[in-house]
Chain A
């Protein structure tokens, strides 16, 4: 957010949140002012118990000690004052720090190579190690409704809602937007990304604001949502990962976190009420596809341990290990790997399709007046229950778009076919036992893999005809032999041991969990029976 907007955003956020809490305090069943403050105290003190004993934490402890002391004997007026202080504290922490000079520098450096991540630590040392870095432009393949996105960015506020596989996503997205000639998008990045030595540089300067997932106070969440809302109203394009976190299983997101989509609707209603000239808020889903994922091993382990919730914040994954990133990047370069960024057709905040000129249309393509959805007796207005439903509808539309516009690369296709062929031999085992023992099945013959891939490609074509997938869901290797060759080449690098290995005319599994991870990208399209009719949709 620009410096001149930061202060007024803080003021706006604080006043809205305080008003909302005060108004709620008069309603039956809603928390009182004291409840909200007590909840903040409780959660913050609990968090601070585990926090390191640094300067910041010492200062925070002091603040909450004082808050507690004053709350014990505070009148209602004083409670409002305390609430204002606590809210402002959160608001100031959340507001992003965008520096146009750093942005210009970053985007100038990035095209030099796929080693973009390392630039943050030591661009020079990296460049000296990799003198022949190919241009990143050749690595990131941008597709889809690019012109529409550009057009809408000038007609209202855009919320980009991408799939989330890797911490690299933020950087690739930032770079993709730069290539499209768009300004940086505001987004809430986990605090762990700010503390990651590689990423903090980008996070601070590519429009990111801090989201500390360890902060559980209701007040903090209100501040985050209100900040996102206000930034949208000020015309800052936003980016948020609707899945909430990186996909642990490798599959395209199905369950979305709707909070920030709801902010889009709130911003739209605020804009209508204030009669701003361009009130529209557009949602643009986006899919990212990688042939190899840096953090695949940690993510799939986490998924299989069903520890997704407890390890919502993974701080010790491959992304925190610079050497591993370096190795990964080098290998990606040697593979001539491409990352596909597909911009989906846009939606309005109710889930309706939007034309490039910003007009919302119904499912028959007839133009509609979106502002009618929020009409109340007093003009455009908020209705909590109605608005939650509208957001749910928009979320469903986003999910459909993400699934339709997913891209599948050779590693996904090969993993899906091989996994399916092996799974059909061991249907009596549950998934976990199967994954533990898949290497004992003796691999699969290429004579089986090629026809299975042929059938899978046919299945994908059919899904495309049915409108469940885009026409370019499989952009590169389109024949089985090429898929096998490219898939094996990818799987033979970076992951150790290789996910799949060819010995003679058979393919052997080196890491069944990773095979499962990469095959999951194709789950949810009822494609398993194409590989083997014995298989049902879910493996």
Chain B
């Protein structure tokens, strides 16, 4: 594998940012990981591991740490952005001060901006001069990637150069990187599946079985696909890694933060204390609000997303919401028309 001439830049020292830096190093490249917090950097530099999110996983020697965005812009051409969605705009604005037109940016953040409903690539476009922008998404549990178990992701961009660079930067013998042109579909899939994952956690927490979870995943996927089609995404994206792939792993896996939020909600804990306990961002929580607003504006019928929103933000009881979903009017499965 030929190393890239310049280091791969990664913004965000959370679980996924650290994992991407490690992946780039495993792919034979130097990686420059940017963290906002100097203390977190000192800790990570001293122990060569991300103690908080990925304890026990030693960082490759090719991973270098920095708190200077200018340093990243100066030394890297390819930059992955793995920051919680609510912080992306602020970081992107600072990034906009230092990047140039030849930089390539790829968002690895799954989520939508509250209030504007913008996708992360749209924010990067607004806040920087960069045009060569893409999105990365898929069934990518950080811990599993760190363990080196086989997995894959998809990178979408309208620019061939972006996907080629992403493949070169992240592909390893244990990690495949697929290419896509459907940026909208990949980002929507990555964002909306978090809402369905919360519902998955709720069904687990309520003690329901695999049938229920499979029902939820299938109909959740149907909601994601309908929303995507309405917004102009390629519906085939939702049967790929960024759609059903990501949905299955998030809805089934207890490693998923959104799944854990759902489980705790079903146990009767209040949302805020769950989020405090989690200590990390569960993107499905703000995304549920965005999806609910979208559904309202467009007239789309998305009952699972609506139900999750009611539980998260309107105090509805999980069991009652599940009951309501089960008693909805019968429909044709494929096109969701009501059965006359």
Seen from chain A, the residues whose Cβ lies within 8 Å of a Cβ on chain B are 350, 352, 362-364, 366, 368-373, 375, 383, 385-386, 389-390, 392-393
Contact = CB atoms under 8 A, between A and B. Distances in A.
Given A368-B101, A372-B100, 10 more contacts: A350-B101, A363-B125, A364-B127, A366-B96, A366-B97, A366-B129, A372-B102, A375-B102, A385-B159, A389-B159
B236 interface: no
A372 B101 contact: yes
B158 A389 contact: yes
Contacts of A363: 125-127
B128 interface: yes
Interface in B112-164: 125-129, 131-132, 158-161
A348 B93 CA distance: 22
A369 B100 contact: yes
By size class, the interface of chain B is 10 to 19
Contact of A352 (B102, B129, B132): B129
A373 B103 CA distance: 8
Given A362-B96, A385-B159, A368 B131 contact: no
A282 B97 CA distance: 24
A524 to B, nearest CB: 17
Contacts of A369: 100-101
A462 B127 CA distance: 26
A352 B125 CA distance: 11
A385 B101 contact: no
A386 B100 contact: no
Nearest to B5: A377
Nearest to B93: A364
Q: Give the top 8 A-B pairs by smallest Cβ distance, nearest first.
A: A372-B101, A373-B101, A362-B129, A368-B129, A372-B100, A372-B102, A375-B102, A385-B160
A59 B131 CA distance: 49
B129 A383 contact: no
A363 to B, nearest CB: 5
Contacts of A368: 100-101, 129
B160 A386 contact: yes
A360 to B, nearest CB: 8
Contacts of B125: 363
Contacts of B126: 363
Interface in B48-69: none
A364 B125 CA distance: 11
Contacts of A375: 101-102
A386 B162 CA distance: 10
Given A368-B101, A372-B101, A373-B101, A386 B132 contact: yes
Given A366-B97, A375-B102, A383-B161, A389 B131 contact: yes
B131 A373 contact: yes
A443 B96 CA distance: 56
Nearest to A392: B158
A31 B282 CA distance: 53
28 contacts: A350-B131, A352-B129, A362-B129, A363-B127, A364-B93, A364-B96, A364-B127, A366-B96, A368-B101, A368-B129, A369-B100, A369-B101, A371-B101, A372-B100, A372-B102, A373-B131, A375-B101, A375-B102, A383-B161, A385-B159, A385-B160, A385-B161, A386-B159, A389-B131, A389-B158, A389-B159, A390-B131, A393-B131
Contact of A386 (B127, B129, B161): B161
Nearest to A383: B161
A369 B99 CA distance: 10
Nearest to A376: B102
B92 to A, nearest CB: 10
Contact of B102 (A373, A389, A390, A392): A373
A359 to B, nearest CB: 12
Contacts of B93: 364
Nearest to A377: B5
Nearest to A372: B101
A363 B126 CA distance: 6
Contacts of A366: 96-97, 129
Contacts of A386: 132, 159-161
Nearest to B77: A375
Contacts of A383: 161
Nearest to A384: B160
Interface string B156-195: 0011110000000000000000000000000000000000
A385 B179 CA distance: 15
B236 to A, nearest CB: 21
Contact of B128 (A362, A372, A390): A362
Contacts of A390: 131
Contacts of A371: 101
Contacts of B131: 350, 373, 389-390, 393
A362 B132 CA distance: 14
Contacts of B132: 386
A371 B126 CA distance: 19
Contacts of A370: 101
A372 B131 CA distance: 11
Contacts of A373: 101-102, 131
A532 to B, nearest CB: 19
A370 B129 CA distance: 9
A350 B161 CA distance: 17
A392 B93 CA distance: 24
Contacts of A350: 101, 131
Nearest to A352: B129
A370 B126 CA distance: 16
A216 B131 CA distance: 34
A118 B281 CA distance: 71
- Point out which of A352, A368, A375, A390 has the most chain B C-beta atoms below 10 A from its C-beta: A368
A392 B96 CA distance: 22
A64 B192 CA distance: 60
A375 B131 CA distance: 13
Contacts of A362: 96, 128-129
Contacts of A372: 100-102
Contacts of B160: 385-386
A389 B181 CA distance: 12
Contacts of B100: 368-369, 372
Nearest to A371: B101
A386 B131 CA distance: 10
A169 B126 CA distance: 34
A90 to B, nearest CB: 31
A387 B129 CA distance: 16
A363 B124 CA distance: 11
A372 B102 CA distance: 5
A108 B161 CA distance: 53
Contacts of B161: 383, 385-386
A370 B131 CA distance: 11
A61 B20 CA distance: 64
Interface string B72-99: 0000000000000000000001001100
B166 to A, nearest CB: 15
A165 B129 CA distance: 34
B74 to A, nearest CB: 14
A538 to B, nearest CB: 15
Nearest to A351: B131
Contacts of B101: 350, 368-373, 375
A364 B161 CA distance: 25
A390 B100 CA distance: 15
Nearest to A360: B129
A375 B128 CA distance: 18
A351 B158 CA distance: 16
A393 B132 CA distance: 11
A369 B129 CA distance: 9
A383 B160 CA distance: 10
